[in-house]
Chain A
Amino acid sequence: MADREVDRVGLAFGVAFVVAGVLFLLDRLEVWDMKASYVLPIFLIALGVAILLGGRSKEPPPPG
């Protein structure tokens, strides 16, 4: 069976969801206070990281 290629977009979103889920859970359990002013910047950072990691999945074909 041939090795399948790692899906970087899926991986990036998966990691982002896990991190976001843990932060939301800590907030709900009152371990950490996630303020409204934190949410949008964290969302933008996660989106940017996902786009950056996802963009690396399609490498251009070798020249020639």
Chain B
Amino acid sequence: MNELPPAPPTPQRPVPIGRLLVGVVLVALGAVWLLDAVGAVDVDWDVLLPVALIVVGVALVIAAWQGRGRGGLIGLGVVLTVVLAIATVVQVPLSGGIGDRVERPTTIAEIADRYELSIGELTVDLRGLTLAAEIPGEVRVEAAVGIGHLVVLVGQGFPCVSTRAEAGVGEIVVFGERRSGVAPEHRTDAVCLAAPLLSLDLSVGLGQVEVRHG
């Protein structure tokens, strides 16, 4: 029985550094996502995604400098860039929830630090807001909607309203004054002769901001 000579060892082709790093980045992102989903860690995606993009960029520079394969790094970087660009333009508050919601604070103490809704219609109804005997100089209300409609209803108890409203793409209507298009803004600085000043800080990513008297 003839024995064949052992085959010469085939030289192993090195894994392209790009593909290696894409794999590492995807595994790391998936692991962090899973840990976040099961509640083991609380991940701040607003910071993690830009950091992932920087890591991809650095890996790409290293791979390019060594003249080694990109292995999908450009594709991964483009996907991350598009996701971040959309999130920046649309300004979606990721933790705000989905649906229609109405907030009706009746005292200044009940006003939340910030009202947020990811997708849907958020109405902040300030018409029932009663002021204590000691009237504050300023009452601040901050609200944001990612995609949808943000409505603020102002009662007659506020003689002065200062508004800072912005939208990624959409429309802003403040007491009938209308702005629309890409990144419309509306700012009014009220000169107040009588307290309190109602200061509104409002934003919507994609949709409409509306401020009106009820």
CB distance from A35 to the nearest CB of B (A): 6
**Minimal beta-carbon separation of B213 from chain A (angstroms):** 29
**Shortest Cβ gap from A13 to chain B (Å):** 5
> Is A7 located at the chain interface by the 8 A CB criterion?
yes
Question: A29–B74 contact, CB under 8 A?
Answer: no
Is A18 within 8 A of B73, CB to CB? no
Number of A interface residues at 8 Å Cβ cutoff, please give it.
30
Task: For residue A21, give the distance in angstroms from its CB to the closest CB of chain B.
Answer: 4
The residue of chain B having its C-beta at the shortest distance from the C-beta of A19 within the complex is: B57
B164 CB to closest chain A CB, in angstroms? 13
Band of interface residues on B: 35 or more
CB distance from B162 to the nearest CB of A (A): 19
Binary per-residue interface labels of chain A (22-64) against chain B in the complex, 1 for a CB within 8 Å, 0 otherwise: 1011011100001111010001000000000000000000000
Q: A19 — which chain B residues lie within 8 A by C-beta?
A: 57
Max chain B Cβ within 10 angstroms of own Cβ: one of A4, A5, A13, A43: A13
Given A4-B66, A10-B73, A24-B50, CB of A15 within 8 Å of CB of B61: yes
Q: Give 14 pairs: A residue, B residue, CB < 8 Å, sorted on A.
A: A3-B67, A7-B70, A10-B60, A10-B74, A13-B57, A13-B73, A14-B56, A14-B62, A15-B57, A17-B60, A18-B53, A21-B57, A24-B53, A28-B46
